[in-house]
A and B are shown apart, each in its own frame.
Chain A
């Protein structure tokens, strides 16, 4: 049987990530045997024709730093300068932001945002490349105001003396600059040059770019329009497609057949074919709804026009026409992007290449083996975490957010002593639209839906029908002849008591006829209950008005003070009348038919959403001494992230290895890549290197696969 690389990788990801915590200091000490540190590293490039170097653009230092990478991550270290203890730094101009390397690895091009220039670095000599006069090779991207923002290199070779082409987005001009790096040998010395070959107008404000491997098609996002641009570099023609939102980061699959575009405002990734048609990725998750229009109602659609497109893809049906709930919108397109719940800042793809066997096999139980994904997209989110998206070449399978335990669905199990089953209190997936926007997990016919691509882990949910809000069974309550109630020791105004709640009297009254309650003679406990009509502050105390005061003529259930000894002082409970007391992270009162998640009401913080049944009147109540009724929810969904730790309850918790990802690049062969991610900003400046998968060997040494250098 073929080994599943994903399982191996998942295991190692967790292990390595946990190990990574330990490594923070270990690696740091190793890497900083030099007095080396990054300062706002916003650009990365792999270059060097003899050795493999990782070039890091330190925007805050106006320099490049260089790391030499050996066979694995344990052999990564700064290149030293001639000065002892200090790393080599190459002056790179003001605010170097992006880097690109020529296909032969001989040169690195530096984009300087602050003066709109390109500079050229000799990647073998590890110094600035020079022109015939010995001056550093610099290209001013004229005219002024071009605002070069992004740069990509072609991996195709070009005719001598050209040794490489880079493309620079110029949002200030609505153009893409094609810049050639040339090299001639004169008297045994290399003379290099940067030359603008073409300025290709695409209009708008082109920003981030991705270039096909054949170097013939360039894709760019546009800050002026919610469109993606496809530029034919052979003839300079361009076409556009609506993205539904402004695009941010952008990448191509390794076979160039899938274009991935991050949409910051929607916190997702959209997948496009080469003709810019949208690949319908099953979203699986979507943001917690904020504004959902009425189905077919133009007014409410206008009201929600700024809502997330996932909200617009569903609508609320007419409550007067059952079944009411959510439905697929007849007006708006289905939501078909991968929702991440964070801004996709950088995207890169990894793959074995066309014709290679799948990198991943997905087998659940004894079911049929599903065709695997040939490649992954690694997505660095603004939250600092790395996520992975499975991609299928030629779009055979919809892109999917990778997760661990993906054969396992969320489950619910009653807590010990719970007097009812899950299906007695929970509905099916609440208001599930026809097309899957959420994942639906069921147990005993009751279901919860996954909302956000988060990590729920294991959660205890207490669902206590008419649960106890106040437990004063030891006494302290006083009933008055006027039908009021207060506590001599406790201000009931602090206890979230509402009209309709229940005063459950525990002290047995005397058996006088006036009290009309003779438990020994067959009366029920419920005869000692009174419904609270109002909650009123009186002279610094909070007084409850009961439903059957003696002052009301015809009241059939009077309960005067004389029914109790000691002037009416009694032990009592106050229960939430006709409501559940639901406790997850906090205690809330919910009515039948309402929804809740382990976090807030609609699951803003957590991944699951549950609905309470409407008809629950026959549910048993619990007393304070009973075990709390409820359920254990286990949601195994865990996006494959860059780091894991365990919280106090041993639940997995993601931690960001770094903050503010700024650049990402890949080094090595396609079947054994090393991914580098830089994190930029004072206090978080660092470089993460990791091996995302290893097809051939098991991984025993964490440091070989996960390395953080500060």
Chain B
């Protein structure tokens, strides 16, 4: 799953100063969501993981929640059509809540299974999570104190699972958010690609295992790409000719301060870069007129020949041509120069204007009808479903729009507070497409401000029949009053 920059970074910056300090706060509540910021699904599709960012540092750590997707699927299957969304909070596995550093960012699960990584702001930008059978979450020795700050001691992680990066410019490696796994079948290597918000650096870590169990994984910094952008918005592997080609796509969040580096997509060949000890990076400015300030999400078609990106200001879904093409040009002396490798052009093909700070995009492959894009509008409080039209997927159109519905919670219901989300909550941010048992297709939508999650059944062939099947909520906490930054 591609990971992308949260629009929340600005506010995060305001609270960063507190990261380094000793935050006392309350202990995280059991079985609850709190400013959920990113999600990932286990390889067997049985469990979804949610990073709770503890965005306002109310609690003394952030935490990782696990959701039993089998229980969710069962509840969806039992729900009658056209009835109110079902409370599925029971699917939140309270016993598997793992305390991790606050202000977490993206999460990525190793496609081989067994472990996940979570990005976070602060001095230890990457947390290694072991995922064992039975949905058990581990982060090393939970009560470890050695070489850990008091904040870090409150997590369930030991030093080996809280990665610090040795860098001559440590400030450039403090602010990670986007993270993704990159596989390289040629060398049989697996990497973690980590993007930083404040430096535009993208780091590769060798995630090769020395043994069969997750605990044998060590993450070794392998290469850093200084992309020259003011922050990395999204990082994902490129599926051209398979998903194990060592190709990375990353987006810049902003142009640099001088405006010399426009908002761009970067195409990185990790395999050749590492083998040749040379950065093999091509930068593609999509269209400065279209992309104003930031590519916050990026998804690829299964062939890798089309990319779909969302940006802010203006809010737009873009269709981008990523068909690889070789360069072959006259050299001015009668001969030709030919590029060694075909390179995607990243030319803009079309766009669809939407509204409300688009934050995430998810490509959903469909067996009936056109494939879909799910797009969240963070300030618009909307989840859009767009169909991918044409044989090449060059056009998208809005097929369905699900608006946030508020105050479904009955005021007389003592189990909830006013505004408690009983559907898609406010500030829909991250999305996760999952395929649990029973042939269901579900889209999980985390709601940042309502500390909740909406579960949309997207199994129907007609998007107009999609409905919010259920929700996971946090009745113990008032929804945030923060609505804009």
Contact = CB atoms under 8 A, between A and B. Distances in A.
A175 interface: no
Contacts of B391: 223-225
Nearest to A614: B333
Interface string B16-31: 0000000000000000
B329 A602 contact: yes
B355 A144 contact: no
Contacts of A454: none
A300 B335 CA distance: 13
B228 interface: no
A611 B332 CA distance: 7
B280 interface: no
B380 interface: yes
A203 interface: no
Given A382-B290, A656-B289, A660-B353, A291 B323 contact: no
Find the residue from B292, B336, B350, B353 having the highest chain A CB count within 10 A: B353
A384 B329 contact: no
Interface stretch (A108-116, A128-136, A350-358): A108-116
Contact of A171 (B290, B333, B389): B389
A382 B380 contact: no
Interface stretch (B91-99, B178-186, B309-317): B309-317
A155 interface: no
A305 B175 CA distance: 43
A145 B461 contact: yes
Contacts of B464: 115-116, 144
Contacts of A384: 289
Given A40-B353, A60-B380, A595-B332, A147 B325 contact: no
Interface stretch (B159-167, B397-405, B442-450): B397-405
A290 B292 contact: no
Contacts of A87: none
A430 B331 CA distance: 11
- Looking at chain B, what size class is its interface with the partner chain? 35 or more
B84 interface: no
A356 to B, nearest CB: 35
A15 to B, nearest CB: 23
A149 interface: yes
* Chain B CB within 10 A, most for which of A265, A319, A431: A265
A60 B290 contact: no
A265 B349 contact: yes
B171 interface: no
Interface stretch (A3-11, A501-509, A565-573, A680-688): A680-688
Given A303-B328, A682-B313, A319 B390 contact: no
B336 A316 contact: yes
B221 interface: no
A289 B332 CA distance: 13
A681 B355 contact: yes
Contact of B292 (A40, A431, A614, A683): A683
A626 interface: no
A113 B357 CA distance: 20
Interface in B329-378: 329-336, 338, 345, 347-351, 353-357, 369-370
A202 interface: no
Contacts of A265: 321, 347, 349, 394
A264 B394 contact: yes
Contacts of B350: 248, 264, 343
A39 B330 contact: no
B330 A223 contact: no
B462 interface: yes
Interface in A608-625: 611-612, 614
Interface in B445-485: 461-462, 464-465
B348 A593 contact: no
B216 to A, nearest CB: 41
Contact of A681 (B332, B348, B354): B354
A207 B328 CA distance: 34
Nearest to A678: B353
Nearest to A381: B289
Contacts of A205: 389-390
Nearest to A430: B332
Contacts of B355: 39-40, 59-60, 681-682
Nearest to A266: B347
Contacts of A316: 330, 336
B158 to A, nearest CB: 42
A89 B387 CA distance: 29
Contacts of A300: 328
B407 interface: no
B314 A145 contact: no
B314 A382 contact: no
Contact of A659 (B292, B380, B462): B292
B397 A113 contact: yes
A612 B332 CA distance: 9
Contacts of A145: 369, 461-462
B314 A304 contact: no
A660 B328 contact: no
Contact of A207 (B289, B325, B332, B395): B395
Given A223-B391, A224-B391, A431 B330 contact: yes
Given A60-B356, A95-B398, A147 B389 contact: yes
Nearest to A656: B289
B326 interface: yes
Nearest to A612: B332
Given A40-B355, A95-B401, A205-B389, A326 B314 contact: no
Interface in B75-104: none
Nearest to B335: A319
A223 B389 CA distance: 7
B56 interface: no
B328 A681 contact: no
A67 B355 CA distance: 22
A42 interface: yes
Interface in A327-380: 342-343
B392 interface: yes
B321 to A, nearest CB: 6
Given A264-B349, A303-B328, A322-B334, 12 more contacts: A144-B465, A172-B370, A290-B328, A324-B334, A382-B348, A383-B289, A383-B290, A431-B330, A593-B332, A659-B292, A660-B353, A683-B312
30 contacts: A40-B355, A60-B356, A95-B398, A113-B397, A113-B398, A115-B464, A145-B369, A147-B387, A147-B397, A147-B399, A207-B389, A223-B390, A264-B350, A265-B321, A290-B327, A291-B325, A300-B328, A304-B328, A307-B325, A319-B335, A325-B330, A326-B330, A382-B289, A382-B348, A383-B289, A595-B332, A659-B290, A659-B314, A681-B316, A684-B314
Closest 9 CB pairs of A and B: A681-B314, A223-B390, A324-B334, A319-B334, A60-B355, A680-B353, A683-B313, A681-B353, A383-B289
